[in-house]
Structure 1
């Protein structure tokens, strides 16, 4: 009990409050409050009648003698539910509790007793105590320090297996899986499998500062691995790495790693596994036992705590599972292609010599420049050195060259005229190789650009009046000499004469000698 008599005696003798606190072994706040109450009640040393410390407490602090039956007990079940909400604290709930008591003319408990009521309630009836960690708020992840081993069935060699561990901070519900490496792909795959195991996503992920997750550790602005950050954005969660050499930033994961080392890794030490799938199946069986194992100092277990008190607060999984991607840097070459694993993919020619980011997935190659996607290709497989070229990425001249084929030439000839179309058909059919025919047709197009398509059509008409198989050279001669501008006389006579000629090409007829 507070030494009220001694405090008031020393105060009457002019001893300072600091000196009184030191002499009576009380805090200065207690001394200050006793002196203030005594002055308010006009009680001074020496007392008019003999008063004990209990009498002085009854006079100075009558509320301390109020029976607890008259105080309003807090609703602990309501407190537990409200603490699951973001931003809600015990201090806020106590403030609301006191305001409600005053409004109803009830006497509230102090903040310390309020917290004690909730602590006792949560310890006896609930598996979790929602003070520092909210349900569904935080997932702590890490690699276990100890490894397991596969046995090579041919050589008997031991192959190390690295154990991924994740723990929900509120319910301590754990997920464990083994991988053959600790690379970025294994790290992200482990997260995806953990989210599927939990059936939801937490708002925050707390990893260690390993290179597969964090490129550059920083107290204020850590640089997250692009693939890891993209995975977090896909699941709409946030990555907040633990501080360097601060294991208390993720105590649940650190504690679970120790338990996993005992209850899973050590318990399977005498088992021999030949495949990773076989090992992970055994790990899942032990994990089920670990999550359903009863708590030592409170009721329930990790699985029950998760299902009853945390699963409802988890964010839902997205409609599609995240597809693992890796990022690379590449420079666009003069042929407007980039090299990705010895395969070549086109990029708009405007980005020649620019440095771009390349996102590589199992089926797709995406190219980004300053976070803007500028190209997308289906991933090439098979022999290296293959090219994937999109015509829209090419300069105009290059695109015309690619588009220059037999169909393109015939379409152009049809727009010029019937005689030009017949001439192009004749030229294309006169060569065994299509490329040779297209080369002659390209010369015909250039003649049209040089002399106009109207003259080209007349020249083709003139050439067809001489022969049914005109050549590029003959049309070029007609245009050069201007024969296309002369009237096309005698063409019908010439064609008739050709029909009447002997089937022998070198035989001169009667007409040659002027005979009839």
Structure 2
């Protein structure tokens, strides 16, 4: 038999005395019929074993009254003093140091000989410790001074190509002065998407604010820091293009951007709650219409003014938009290879003056490539983007010497020798191509041993003879040079040279006396002898 509580047992006995059936008692009390039957038998046995005991409703009431416990004694009017009261000053000093009740109890026992229990200290500390409400200043801003941005969740939207619904990311940008907002949903976020959403917001408002306050999400802030946060380079370049300064909120400080937090909650609870959309475009169209028809026309609860009217005041203060939009890029790090180039998308681009083996930062635009110094951020080079993979964008004057590719250099040096040498070298290259450049280098190298006019004259004779050969030019040059030397010697031997007698000067202010020179030589000899002995 299940044991019923006193109140349930009294209810069963009362209903039995009134003549209720077991089924009815089970329905009223929720007690199983078998249990009711057992208590009915028990009650009948008690009555049969106690003759002369009153029965009926009065007896049942007396039985129920006997089951009710007596009331609690009244609370004392005076509260006993706590054992911690003599140590109030010590405990208050410890509380000002942000110490907990356990540490305070341990110090009281060790230092002051406290004889009470820990719970006594705990209760006393709870009465002393009172939390002052934190005060928040009501921030006020000038028109076009600040815009707050953040992400939320949009309404469930059908995923393209499937029957599944998923919540996209809801981007909200709110002007702090007027509370006018721009709302847009996207499937995926990233560095460029985050920057593009800001650009859409600027275009929607028709101008740019001075500051933008954002959370420390990775799309905007790479490294959060209280003093010098590091921004995403694409995001930083976008804000610089529009003349806007980023002001990231401190970590775990959502109250700094409470305006956009409220705007996200208002959008989710009012505009998107309970809705589903078949496409992301449909949801963006709905958000634009809702902003225009309802959100912009509402009366703001704090300012007690219409948002649309406040935005009309703020819009003339927004900074003008640039004529051209932001040109987005991808930023990567590359190492300068041994040909002084960096590899970007299977093409090579000149990186000088960056040293070979150094790291550089490369920005990849749609139509151009920019190379920056990794440490100083200085722009080193800018190149048009190659149209096909494998292209080498390297000027000729920066290329290392290559004998099979320096035809123009050879021909320029040949033209410096003379007209005939330049003509002969051009004919040799035209006839033999790249292989003929070896002969060209030989002809040009003759000027290191023979006069240039001899080499040029030899090339003229080779042209007349129709022999286009380096050895022929070399032989003609040697012959011409030998003939020139012989002519000079013959001319010098046929002339009579009259000997001349030179008169030496014996007396001059710069000429010293012979004795002084003798003393100098003697002193030098003595010094040399002493040095050899040591």
Q: TM-score, normalised by structure 2?
A: 0.59
Match of 1:205 among 208, 212, 216: 212
Instruction: Mark the CA change 1:215 to 1:401 in structure 2 (over 3 Å): closer, same or farther.
Output: farther
Q: Which has the higher contact order (CA 8 A, sep 6+)?
A: 1
Matched, 1:139 2:147: yes
SS at match of 2:360: strand
Matched, 1:425 2:432: no
Match of 1:469 in 2: 467
| 444 and 204 in structure 1: CA distance in 2 versus 1, 3 angstrom threshold | same
* 1:276-425 aligned within 5 A: 276-295=280-299, 297=301, 300-307=305-312, 309-348=313-352, 350-369=354-373, 370-383=376-389, 385-394=390-399, 397=401, 404-405=406-407, 409-425=410-426
CA distance in 2, matches of 1:356, 1:312: 43
Q: Which has the larger radius of gyration?
A: 2
* CA 1:168–1:381: 2 relative to 1, 3 Å: same
Aligned residue in 2 for 1:55: none
Separation in 1, partners of 2:307, 2:404? 68
Distance across 1 between alignment mates of 2:219 and 2:276: 31
Distance 1:391 1:463, change over 3 A: closer
Displacement of 1:202 after TM fit?
0.8
Decide whether aligned partners of structure 1 residues 306 and 440 sit closer, same or farther in structure 2, where only a CA change above 3 A counts. same
User: Is the CA contact 1:144–1:163 (under 8 Å) kept in the aligned structure 2?
Assistant: yes
Cα separation, partners in 2 of 1:390 and 1:288, compared to 1, 3 Å: farther
C-alpha separation between the residues in 2 aligned to 1:281 and 1:469? 83
1:348/1:394 contact within 8 Å kept: no
Partner of residue 259, structure 1: 266
Q: 1:337 to 1:265 in 2, by over 3 A?
A: farther
In the alignment, does 2:169 pair up with 1:172?
A: no
**Match of 1:250, SS?**
helix
**Structure 1 contact 349–393 (Cα < 8 Å) conserved:** no
Q: Which runs of 5+ in 2 are unaligned?
A: 1-137, 485-534
Shift of 1:382: 4.1
Partner of 2:34: none
Q: 1:424 to 1:372 in 2, by over 3 A?
A: same
How many aligned residue pairs are there?
344
Q: Is the 1:152–1:158 contact (alpha carbons within 8 Å) kept by the matching residues of 2?
A: no
Tell me if 1:271 matches 2:314. Answer: no
Contact 1:426 1:469 in 2 (8 A): no
Q: Name 1:447's counterpart in structure 2.
A: 446
* Partner in structure 1 of residue 437 of structure 2: 438
Distance verdict in 2 for CA 1:469–1:180, change over 3 Å: farther
Deviation for aligned residue 1:416 = 2.5
Q: 1:157/1:305 Cα in 2 relative to 1: closer, same or farther (>3 Å)?
A: same
Residue 249 of structure 2 is matched in structure 1 by 242
- Between the aligned partners of 2:463 and 2:304, the Cα distance in structure 1 is 102
Q: TM-score, normalised by structure 1?
A: 0.61
- RMSD of the TM alignment (CA)? 2.7
Q: CA deviation at 1:210?
A: 0.3
Q: Secondary structure at the match of 2:168?
A: strand
Structure 1 pair 215/271, CA: closer, same or farther in 2 (3 Å)? closer
- Give the corresponding residue for 1:456: 455
Q: Does 2:231 correspond to 1:224?
A: yes
Task: Give the C-alpha shift of residue 458 in structure 1.
Answer: 2.1
Q: 1:192 aligns with which of 188, 195, 199?
A: 199
Change (3 A) 1:333 1:240: same
Aligned partner of 1:486 in structure 2 is 483
Partner Cα distance (2:202, 2:455) in 1 = 71
